[in-house]
Amino acid sequence: MLLVGIVGSIVGVIIYSGLHKEKTVIVQREAATPVSLTSFEGSGYAAPDFRLAAEKSVHAVVHVKTVTKYQQNYYDNLQDWFFGNPKTMNREVPGYGSGVIISQDGYIITNNHVIDNSNSIEVTMNDGRVESAEVIGKDPQTDVAVLKIKANNLPYLTFGNSADMQVGDWVLAVGNPFNLQSTVTAGIISAKGRSIGIIGSNQRNPYAQQSTQPTGIESFIQTDAAVNPGNSGGALVNLQGDLIGINTAIASQTGTYMGYSFAIPAVIAKKVVDDILEFGEVQRVVIGISGGTVTQPLVDQEKLKVNQGVYVSDLTEDGGAVGAGIKTGDVIISVDGRKITSMSDLQESLAPHRPGEKVEVVVNRKGDEKTYNVTLKAQKGTPRTIGGNDLLNYLGADIEQLSDKELQKYEISYGVKVTKLRDGKLKEAGVPDGFIITDINKTVEVRTIDDIRQAIDRSQANRPILIEGIMPNGKYNYFAFKK
């Protein structure tokens, strides 16, 4: 019986092999480049061919090693500890990540968080060569950095158009997870325009997902390609080997891959690189609004006629939007023909542009669609909003953004400062001049004046509005007033 089973298995394999011959075919998708597939005759199944993209990308992806130096105090004995006589020890902390060569003369793109605060950077190429790298520029707002090594005739990747990629398209993630050089994993695009609140500690509340001055620009490509620590800064490529994203983050409860990874789309990354190389800094543009992604509570509250888009809660003085004719209460649903369903979509659609350029914006205004040509302007500090004057008079104070130095001083990642206190709700509640507002009603993290406005608007009449924050002396306190 054993012999019969073995012979039967061999015969079955021979028959299967004869019926399922492997061959490579080219499938043309409308408005896209040809995709190479490997099919099996008689099976009706076609698998993508990853070999071309893998071969192109592994040679252009590098391992990035950083060293960060710092001084640590320690005490030899209790006497030194009691009398405050510490000794100093120099420490070095290594860090690892990936990068992508984007020119034959040695320019490399990576994540800002891979190289930030490092004292030295070393790049190892796929052929084993090791080169020192210098930082040409970095942009914390998108988590992109540009490095340069002294080398020529290098293999490199060219940027593809990430806007053309669709959910369900195959992609490869190439990097150096766990210091394993030149690792390739495959997956599909699971979603686009994801905002997960990781750049610049950019946690947001559901009603105000964007303000006039964002701390981070996020419109990630989400994939199920395996990405782990060390992949940050590596390449996300399509089946032609074009760079369509920079792998940046994973969603995980363990710190390792659990099925979700996120990449900065090429349309954002390329603009940052081009600006850094041409101007030395990023030429950021703003459309001149503050607001947030449309949510069902917002639809019910404002009686909106659409369920998707970006709700305009206020306009900035002298901004492009107000100059074009956009009004508060409008919902932006399209930019240059691209459908806008969230603030992340709007960010990504504006990212490739520079100050002075125009975009075609379609808004829904109480059920009617209107089209405007909006001139984009440079992002400069915190623009003053048109509706801000009424709110400031209501509060009886001016509101200022906190500087990075103040955030570090109070060990917080968000908040606004009360200045020039006068008669109004804050003074009635006992809020002192210099008080830092961090939270309202225990649900809204306050990063801009628009967060205060929306929190007050959503509060019920005659119910206390709870304001929490930090006193000028650094102590926590809270105050309350009725709407």
Contact 175, 247 (CB under 8 A): yes
Q: Which of 232, 334, 342, 344 is catalytic?
A: 232
Residue among 280, 177, 274, 192 nearest 235 (CA): 177
Residue among 257, 252, 250, 255 nearest 232 (CA): 250
Contact 225, 261 (CB under 8 A): yes
Contact 215, 135 (CB under 8 A): no
Residue 63 to residue 261: CA distance in whole angstroms: 19
368 Cα distance to chain centroid? 32
Asked about 143 being catalytic, the answer comes back as yes
Q: Which residues, 6 or more positions from 468, have their beta carbon under 8 angstroms from its beta carbon?
A: 437, 438, 439, 440, 442, 476, 477, 478
Taking the C-alpha atoms of 91, 95, 100 and 104 in order, what is their torsion angle to the nearest 10 degrees?
30
Assigned token pair, 159: 């940027």
Asked about 224 being catalytic, the answer comes back as no
Residue 123 to residue 248: CA distance in whole angstroms: 18
Q: Which of 49, 59, 63, 113 is catalytic?
A: 113
Residue 469 to residue 475: CA distance in whole angstroms: 8
Q: Which of 139, 143, 242, 314 is catalytic?
A: 143
On the CB side of 60, how many CA atoms lie within 13 Å of its CA? Answer: 28
Assigned token pair, 294: 């449309």
Contact 48, 26 (CB under 8 A): no
- Name beta bridge partners: 68: 93
Asked about 36 being catalytic, the answer comes back as no
Contact 285, 376 (CB under 8 A): yes
Residue length of the chain? 483
372 Cα distance to chain centroid? 28
- Give the strand order in the sheet containing 45-48: 22-27, 35-40, 45-48
Catalytic residues, by residue number, are: 113, 143, 232
